[in-house]
Amino acid sequence: IIVWPFPDEPLRKIASSAKAVIVPEMNVGLMVREVERAVAGSCPVYSVRRLDSDILTPSQIVEKIKEVA
């Protein structure tokens, strides 16, 4: 999936008031790099990745939220 044009400005605006951004992905981290570029250091960006054929579970995402909170 390609997100074009990437929503740099809306993401940057949200990130400026966020403690962190968490990017769930079912790949090796393709989207997290775009998010890091867009937020330009305004907050930390964390990835929750899954590389096998199983789907990320809500509990895996919640676990990452608790880890970075």
- pLDDT one-digit tens code per residue, 27-68: 888 899 999 999 999 999 999 999 998 999 999 999 999 999
Give 4's pLDDT tier (boundaries 50, 70, 90).
Answer: confident
Q: Kindly report the three-state secondary structure assignment for every residue of the chain.
A: CCCCCCCHHHHHHHHCCCCCEEEEECCCCHHHHHHHHHHCCCCCEEEEECCCCCCCCHHHHHHHHHHHC
Query: What integer pLDDT is reported at residue 1 of this predicted model?
Result: 64
Give 21's pLDDT tier (boundaries 50, 70, 90).
Answer: very high
Query: What integer pLDDT is reported at residue 29 of this predicted model?
Result: 86
The pTM (predicted TM-score) of the whole model is 0.87
**What does the alpha-carbon distance between residue 40 and residue 55 come to, in Å, rounded to a whole number?**
29
Strand partners, 47: 23
